[in-house]
Amino acid sequence: MKRRDFLQAASLVSASWMMPNFLRAAQSLSFGESTHGKVLVMVQFSGGNDGLNMVVPYSNDIYYQNRPGIAIKSDEVFRMNDDLGLHPKMEGLHQLYDDGALSVVNGVGYPNPNRSHFRSMDIWHTASDAHEFLSSGWVGRYLDSACQKGKTLPYTALEIDDTLSLALKGQQLKGLAVKQPQSLYKTTQEPFIQALARQQMQADVSSPLAYLHKTLIETTTSASYVHEKAKVYKTEVDYPDHEFGQKLKTMAKLIVSQSDTRIYYVSISGFDTHVSQPGQHGNLLKKYSSGLAAFVEDLKRNNRFEDVMIMTFSEFGRRVKQNAGRGTDHGTANNVMLISGGLKKPGIYNAPSDLADLVDGDLKHKVDFREIYTTLLDKWLEVDAEAILGRKFSQLGMV
């Protein structure tokens, strides 16, 4: 085992701050009985998804005037109502809409929007104001809240990837990043890792060394837990053979196996479509739609779809007017998708954005994204959203 492999394994999960009996407590972590409560799945479109070509205002002349080379033709969309339709590559999402399992929230954003990928994504990850810079993510603070109540659950939030997003990083506890449960488990079973985990740490419990040791113990424990849960259920659903589909397959195994994980996080990259947008964007939406269709089918077969809420977002939308490269540039407000068998208000949640009422060529936001976070925290996960987000936001009625 190389030093960098050890550091990589240790960095995947972070534990709560030290306490005197930390070794005994960590070693006695049990898998216990799952609460089998509600599950939240976050799907991130990285790069700034073009919401106007995903949820198409096909009856709006302004849309076609501004996008002569990239607009989706009105006779090609999957129509949801007299104004809006889904991109023609999203057949799976259209079926979910027809089944009453999809809610589209239009015009989602935040005041004083930032058009930088990195800064805007940080704002979404931390639930901060545009002028605030926070070091913890909103999911991470959810984990911190659970930790303060005496719950040490390293796998309460899982990102199905090799690296952990800021959204899942708390001050006391971090989520676990794992792309392949078997691979992570195999790494933690290396003799060097196991020997370190078995050592009796005598250092001051507040020291960095003791902190790393506890982190290592919880990483190995979490890896074992996730690995065992991933083996319980073998799906018979045919998932598409692309990365996003396979990540959802891993997620379904854990959900159906009744893992104690409450929040899952997954992302698709490639949405920064400045040039030649139509083909690239269509392919990405097809992957998203086909993957989710299989995932939902898996959940339905196992009577879990009503317990799972899927939220899809991007750091910002694109500008209304196409650019010279048959693409679109960084914009502001966007659509958010909510998918579940337990939606109270499926369909089009609010009116589409007004394409005649823009700010410097960009859509005005009508819904603060933190209102959606508040709704999911309060109503779906049943925790105090105000304590986690740092202030009170209105709730929406789809949950």
Rg of the chain over all Cα atoms, to the nearest angstrom:
22
Given this model, what pLDDT does residue 109 score? 98
Residue 327: how many CA atoms within 13 Å on its side-chain side? Answer: 16
3-state secondary structure of 228: helix
CA-nearest of 92, 76, 45 to 289 is 92
Query: In terms of Cα–Cα distance, which of 311, 329, 315 is closest to 396?
Result: 311
Say if residues 312 and 336 touch (Cβ distance below 8 Å): yes
Rounded to 10 degrees, what is the CA torsion of 383, 347, 120, 329? 170
Q: How far is Cα 209 from Cα 206, in angstroms, rounded to an integer?
A: 8
Return the SS3 of 328: coil
Please answer whether residues 212 and 199 qualify as being in contact, where contact means their C-beta atoms are separated by less than 8 angstroms.
no
pLDDT, the chain, mean? 87
The pLDDT assigned to 225 comes to 73
CB 234 within 8 A of CB 10: no
Report pLDDT for 207.
65
Identify the pLDDT of residue 201.
56
Low-confidence residues of the chain: pLDDT under 70: 1-36, 148-154, 183-188, 192-193, 196-197, 200-219, 222-223
Position 211 scores a pLDDT of 62
Per-residue pLDDT reduced to its tens digit, 232-270:
889 999 999 999 999 999 999 999 999 999 999 999 999
pLDDT of residue 373: 98
Q: Is the pTM of this model over 0.85?
A: yes
Q: 378-399: per-residue pLDDT in tens? A: 999 999 999 999 999 999 998 9
Of residues 104, 34, 38, 33, the one with CA closest to residue 306: 38
